[in-house]
Amino acid sequence: MRLIRVMYHSQSMLAQLPREELDAELMTKSRVNNQRNGITGLLIADDLWFVQVLEGAQKIVWQTFDRIREDPRHLRVMIVEVRDIAAREFGDWSMNLVTRTPETQGVFAKYGAQVLNPSRMSTEQVGKLLNDLSKASGVPVI
Ligand X SMILES: Cc1cc2nc3c(=O)[nH]c(=O)nc-3n(C[C@H](O)[C@H](O)[C@H](O)COP(=O)(O)O)c2cc1C
Under the rule (CB under 6 A), what is the footprint of ligand X? 26, 29-30, 33-34, 43, 50, 52, 64, 67-68, 71, 73-74, 95
Of 106 and 117, nearer to ligand X (C-beta) is 117
Minimum CB separation from ligand X for residue 15, in Å?
12
Of 56 and 127, nearer to ligand X (C-beta) is 56
Minimum CB separation from ligand X for residue 10, in Å?
6
Minimum CB separation from ligand X for residue 80, in Å?
14
Of 5 and 74, nearer to ligand X (C-beta) is 74
Minimum CB separation from ligand X for residue 113, in Å?
23
Q: Are 98 and 133 in contact (CB under 8 A)?
A: yes
Reduced 3-state DSSP string for 61-121: HHHHHHHHHCCCCEEEEEEEEEEECCCCCCCCCCCEEECCCCCCHHHHHHCCCCCCCHHHC
Of 96 and 104, nearer to ligand X (C-beta) is 96
In three-state secondary structure terms, 13 is: coil
Of 40 and 102, nearer to ligand X (C-beta) is 40
Sequence letter at residue 17:
L
Sequence letter at residue 89:
E
Minimum CB separation from ligand X for residue 135, in Å?
20
The contacts of residue 140 (CB under 8 Å, 6+ apart) are 92, 93, 96
Bridge partners (DSSP) of residue 3 are 57
